[in-house]
Amino acid sequence: MTDPIRICRLHAKGDLRIETEAPVPPARHEVAVAIGAGGICGSDLHYWHDGGIGTIRVREPIILGHEAAGHVIAVGEGVEGLAVGDLVAVNPSHPCGDCLFCREGLPNQCANMRFLGSAMYLPHAQGLFRDRVTVGAAQCHKVPGDVSVAEAACAEPLAVCLHAARVAGDLAGKRVLVTGAGPIGALCTAVAAAQGAAEIVTTDLHDAPLDVARRLGAHHMVNVATTPDALDPWRADRGRFDVAFECSAAAPAISQAAQCLRPCGTLVQVGSAGPTEVPLNVLVGKEIVLRGTFRFDREFAEAVAAIGRRDIDVRPAITGAWPVEEAAAAFEAATDRRRSVKVHLTFAGAD
């Protein structure tokens, strides 16, 4: 625990460096985790490409990464339920517990949220792209079963999708559209399949992520770039889908989803962007229910359990892994949607 650890730190737009720092031993109610795998999220890519997300800017060096798992290597006093050697997924979400929204049972809407790897506040909340991290034991969820550290590292994005499904309501027997087959769209497809959707159609602009969606449970895959009319059968009779998970935040996809939903269907907006054109006339005319969905709460534990039991097999979504010292190449690969869905960095604690 005394040797320097490697960290993946962003100093400014495009300035990603592999550096070292001293490890921090666990205090009371904390554990030290040797990170094995960390997923590169769209927010990490925005920080790297653009220096921020919308109005959130990187104003000081920040360790990126909020999708990670690894093995416990030390426990502090007072820790129960975790032991050295346990495989854990690290929950990056730290709601305050005291604000109005936390008291109302809406911790994902916490007014004082500290989310690891986020530049929202100063000082920035340092993230998980590092060989070792010391965190509160309550943030570490022991992963059941015999799964890889890479699978466990998918708990955070899967939790996002489980929360989106909870917002949507019962999916059993429903016709479901998923627009955008990136990491979140692919895992929304997997969640819909696991929850018994009768028909799942997933769309994207590229064939490779659509093949991943097929392996995760999509019944039909539509490349809307090469076959723009392929959704016509589901537009017929004022729309056929009961639920749409819109995961791209692209105006054309939002319009397609609204057109393909049946009257009184539910559009769950998962993807996020700045001001975006929305077909209000279609939403109003068909009485479509528009629901936003943001992060997760109890769904993180549910995601860990689902991965550990392989109730949801996330392995098809993992399309690449690079050692941390090749982080720039990993970020380049994660940017290329023609060949990548979920790309991981690997660390000292990898299997």
Contact between residue 48 and residue 96 where contact means Cβ atoms under 8 Å apart: no
Q: Please, what is the angle between helix 42-50 and helix 327-335, to 10°?
A: 110
Instruction: Return the domain boundaries, the chain.
Output: 5-154+314-346, 161-292
Q: Are strands 140-142 and 87-90 parallel, antiparallel or unpaired?
A: antiparallel
* pLDDT of the residue at 45: 96
Same fold, 5-154+314-346 and 161-292: no
CATH number of 161-292: 3.40.50.720
251 contact partners, CB below 8 Å, separation of at least 6: 276, 277, 278
Cα angle for residues 285, 269, 176 (degrees, 5° grid): 75
Report the mean per-residue pLDDT for the chain. Answer: 96
Residue in the structure block whose two tokens are 């993946």: 8
Check if CATH label 3.40.228.10 holds for domain 5-154+314-346: no
pLDDT at 351: 57
The reported pTM is 0.96
CA neighbor of 337 nearest in space, from 267, 231, 248, 258 = 248
Q: How high is the pLDDT of residue 1?
A: 58
For residue range 24-52, list pLDDT tens digits in order. Answer: 999 999 999 999 999 999 999 999 999 99
Positive or negative, the CA dihedral 55, 209, 341, 168 is positive
pLDDT at 166: 98
Q: What is the three-class DSSP state of 44?
A: helix
Return the amino acid letter for 244.
Answer: A
In 169-315, which ranges are continuous DSSP H helix? Answer: 183-194, 207-215, 232-235, 251-260, 280-285, 299-309
